[in-house]
Amino acid sequence: MELLLGLLTYLAIAGTVRIGRRFWSDVERDCGFESWCASEPLVVAVRCRADAHVACLHLRQLLAPDDEVDNHMGSAPWQHYRYAVDVRTLGEEVLLVHITGCRLAKREGTCADVAEVVRTLVADPRAEIEEVWLHGQLHELRPAARRGVDRNRAHWIGVVEAGELSLREMIGTPTWTTNV
Spatial contact of 50 and 93, defined as CB atoms under 8 Å apart: yes
Residue 24 binned pLDDT confidence (cut-offs 50, 70, 90)? low
Question: Given this model, what pLDDT does residue 35 score?
Answer: 94
Greater confidence (26 vs 158) lies with 158
Question: Given this model, what pLDDT does residue 155 score?
Answer: 86
Question: Given this model, what pLDDT does residue 143 score?
Answer: 47
Is the pLDDT at 17 greater than 80? The verdict is no
Spatial contact of 18 and 107, defined as CB atoms under 8 Å apart: no
| Chain CA centroid to CA 78, Å | 10
Question: Given this model, what pLDDT does residue 146 score?
Answer: 54
Residue 170: closest CA among 150, 96, 34: 150
pLDDT digits (tens, 9 = 90+) for 29-88: 899 999 999 999 999 999 998 778 888 888 888 888 889 998 888 788 888 899 999 999
List the Cα angle 143/167/170 in 5-degree steps.
95
* Spatial separation of the C-alpha atoms in residues 89 and 132, rounded to whole Å: 14
pLDDT digits (tens, 9 = 90+) for 115-173: 889 989 988 888 888 999 999 888 876 544 555 667 777 888 888 888 788 888 888 89
Q: Is the peptide bond before 174 cis (omega within 30 degrees of 0)?
A: no
Task: For residues 87-93, give the mean pLDDT.
Answer: 89
Least confident range of 22-26, 53-57, 100-104, 167-171? 22-26
